[in-house]
Every structure is written in C-alpha cells, then in structure tokens.
Structure 1
Amino acid sequence: MSEWIYFIHPPREHFVDTITEDEATIMQIHAEHLAELHQQGVLILAGPTFGAVNTGVAIIEAADEEAARELMMSDPAVTSGLMTPELRPMRVSFLRGVDD
C-alpha cells in the first residue's frame, strides 16, 4: 500500500462562505463518503482549507495509482461535477500518535 493525496478544488473563491443549499447537500454526502473510507481504514486524514480558496485535502492509502484514482473519482464532490479533482503520490513521513 502507498499513500496518495488528492485535492478537490472548488468552483469559486470563498466557496465555504457562499455555498448554496444544493452544494451543501453534495458536501454532506461527500463527508459521509469520507467517513466511510475512514471507517474502512482507507482514509488517513481529510479536511478543507480556509481563506479565499477552500481546497479540500484527503490522504488515502491505495495499492497503486489506478486504485487511488478510482477512490478519488468515486468521491461524490467529484462525481457530481461540483469539485475538480487532483491526485498526487505522497509519503506520510510523520504522523502524530504513530511511533511516538
């Protein structure tokens, strides 16, 4: 297994401050999806960034790039067309609470 980071880029600046009801519904489904991945042990961490650009960040474990891309592309924020995805390989080098 290897680690991957995926970003979901919002459709506009200040997305969190200007989110519509329909967008909020999609983001709730997105959060439920991430909670399920976390429960399955696939998701290492996830959350939004704040400020003018509210990019979402998720770090996942996957066997290879194809599996990581499938996970990213199954995210409801992506499948809905609301967010634009970006995938990069990464290595979790330091994680609080692990090997302390």
Structure 2
Amino acid sequence: MKYYLCKFVPPRADFLTTMSTDELTWMKQHGDFLNDLLAKNVIVAHGPVIDDTGGYGVSLYQIADNEDIASFTSLDPIVINGVGHYEHYVMLHLSSRP
C-alpha cells in the first residue's frame, strides 16, 4: 500500500467566503466525491482546515502500490472544473482506527 496526505489548494485566499454559485455546486460534488472514496476505503479521512490564509482541504489516501495518486485527485469535480489544485505528500505509513 501507498499513503498520501493530499492538500487541496483553493484558487484564492477568500475562496470559502466568496464562492460563486457554480463553485458552490462543484464543492458539493467535491464532498460527495471524497465521501464516495471514503466509503470505498481509498480515503481514510478528509476535511477542511481553517487558517490565517483562509484555509484548504486535507485528505488522507491509502492506495494500492500500482495506483497513481493523481489518477484519483484529477477526477475530483473541483479539479475538473479548474477550481484549485492538489498537492500530494507521500507518507511513510498511516495508522488509523479500524
């Protein structure tokens, strides 16, 4: 297995408070997309992080050795619609509750 911390970087610092109607729709689809991966045990956890820069999203992935992390994150509706991007960070291991 391979493990990743993925950081969703929004397109602007005030994104969470200034989303357009389309962006709100894509963010709902983004949540549904991540929840589906959570149900399939691809993602261990995900959620928004609020900080002084406005915030970002974090997701923890657990994927097979033959899978590519970008093949998952590139299918996220927010990426498909050009609303921000992901940074991928390799984790040496991931411990979680069963």
> 2:94 pairs with 84, 92, 95, which one?
92
Which deviates more, 21-30 or 46-55? Answer: 46-55
Alignment partner of 1:53: what SS?
coil
Instruction: Name stretches of at least 5 consecutive residues in structure 1 with no aligned partner.
Output: none
CA, structure 1 residues 65+57, in 2 after alignment: closer, same or farther (shift >3 Å)?
Answer: farther
Offset at residue 65 of structure 1 (A): 7.6
Deviation per residue, 1:26-81 (Å, 9 max, x gap): 00000110111011111101111113332111111112485212111111111111
Identity, in percent, stands at 29
Q: Which residue is 1:58 aligned to?
A: 59
Instruction: Name stretches of at least 5 consecutive residues in structure 2 with no aligned partner.
Output: none
Q: Determine the C-alpha separation between the residues in 1 that align with 2:24 and 2:66.
A: 29
Alignment partner of 1:59: what SS?
strand
Alignment partner of 2:82: what SS?
coil
Residue 67 in structure 1 maps to residue 79 in structure 2 = no
RMSD of the TM alignment (CA)? 1.7
Q: Determine the C-alpha separation between the residues in 1 that align with 2:9 and 2:89.
A: 14
Residue 42 in structure 1 maps to residue 42 in structure 2 = yes
Query: TM-score, normalised to structure 2's length?
Result: 0.86
Q: Which residue is 2:28 aligned to?
A: 28
Q: How many residues align?
A: 96
Amino acid paired to 1:3:
Y
Q: Which structure 2 residues correspond to residues 9-24 of structure 1 after superposition, within 5 A? A: 9-24=9-24
